[in-house]
Amino acid sequence: MPGSPGSFPLGAAVTMRDLDTNMHPVLRRLRASEPVSWLPVLGGWLVTRRDLALRVLRDSRTFTVDDPRFSTARVVGPSMLSLDGSEHKRHRDPFAEEFRSTASAARLEEVAEAEASRLVAGFAAAGEAELRRSLAGPLAVAVVAEVLGLGQTDPKMILAWYDEIVGAVSALAGQSGEGPEPNSATVGSAAFAELSAEVQAAIAGAHGDSLLSAAARTGGLRDGEVVSNAAVLMFGGIETTEGMICNAILHLLAHPAQLAEVIADPGLLANAIEESLRLEPAAAVVDRYATTDVAIAGAAIRHGELVTVSLAGAGRDPTFFPDPDRFDLHRANAKQNLAFAHGPHFCVGANLARLETRAAVAAVLQLPRLRLDPARRLAPRGVVFRKPPALHVQWDVPALQG
């Protein structure tokens, strides 16, 4: 056995329920006593200290994503998410170049701000809303559609593809039940085939210019490779951005004094978002596989074993972030969070996610006296992806004059 209860008693006692609903106290104990711990419930090692997380994330030769067990690749094929070395660079560089483009960033920021304002205006007269489904999710879908050149595609169709592909990935990973579910994987493959047809049209220019068509023209990727990376961008662009928006709004509304500071000085919003990412990254963990036997912080990791890096644990490491459980929009090093990972697999769409979150938060803060619904307040939860299951808010609606 790689680890034993005697060697890692804290890790041996951790349950999936702990990680889902009580994650941060568990991570605090592990980080202090077993910073690299064997968790039978995960079937692998969990790294919770920031310096050790950086060591793993920077060293793709020793800790790789390129492993046949990587479930995303089994559904959508090889992509920048599941490759390392020169092949990873070949898949990633065309997209990274487009995301760095000043013109692309300006266009996508304009799209995000206009869509966020439109969504908020649509429910502003109601006095209450559930923001995950009425703002965060729809905004993320709209921007992903723009990125993929699918602006004419029904957003419900994009969400259907997304849900089915995510379900298939979870089934193959054994996360949606007691084991893999072949039917779910088959449905996910069908959804991927539909997405593929739409992306092929976007590449060909039928849906206008897009990041994908540019990557295909200038990056030397084959159409099928562009499609696989499109599926990865869709997954990250919807799931984690929705969570990032919800968590940022939740943190601000849960701290009225700091919310008032942001309203008085919108320049503080960017750091408030980084502080939210530190406290509650939308993607709590990332997986790697050991390519060789390696010792790290007293743990003897063997070739082929799963090594899961807790981005959530790294974000609350008290040796780097003093008073780590406190939300502080003035924290000087908040942007040094690892919410977008680090090293070769640093999130290619990190800046896009940031600008979407700024657009969403700025738009919703225009609602007068915005506040959490005290009767329906839910904390973030999730083992891999963390956000509140729903985000119910209220605000004052001015009385009609006449």
Instruction: Kindly report the number of other CB atoms within 10 A of residue 41's CB atom.
Output: 16
Looking at domain 9-394, what is its CATH homologous superfamily? Cytochrome P450 (1.10.630.10)
The SS3 assignment for 128 reads strand
pLDDT of residue 177: 37
Q: How far is CA 210 from CA 72, 78, 101, 350, in A?
A: 24, 21, 12, 18
Tens-level pLDDT at each residue, the chain (402 residues): 565 556 999 999 999 999 999 999 999 999 999 999 999 999 999 999 999 999 999 999 999 999 998 878 888 889 999 999 999 999 999 888 888 888 888 999 999 999 999 999 999 999 999 999 999 999 999 999 888 888 778 888 888 888 887 777 766 655 433 344 444 445 567 777 888 888 888 777 655 566 777 777 776 788 888 888 988 898 889 989 999 999 999 999 999 999 999 999 999 999 999 999 999 999 999 999 999 999 999 999 999 999 999 999 999 999 999 999 999 999 999 999 999 999 999 999 999 999 999 999 999 999 999 999 999 999 999 999 999 999 999 999 986 544
**DSSP single-letter state for residue 49:** S
**String of DSSP letters for 37-97:** EEETTTTEEEE-SHHHHHHHHH-TTTEES--TT-HHHHHH-S-TTS--HHHHHHHHHHHHH
Q: Identity (one letter) of the amino acid at 269?
A: L
d(CA 66, CA 57): 13
Return the pLDDT at 209. Answer: 63
Contact 92, 80 (CB under 8 A): yes
Sheet of 285-290: strands edge to edge? 36-39, 44-47, 306-310, 285-290, 63-64
Q: Which is it for strands 44-47 and 306-310: parallel, antiparallel or unpaired?
A: parallel
Structure tokens belonging to residue 260: 């008032």
| Tokens at 195, concatenated | 């997405």
User: Residues 6 or more apart from 326 whose CB is under 8 A from it?
Assistant: none
Report DSSP state, residue 367. Answer: S
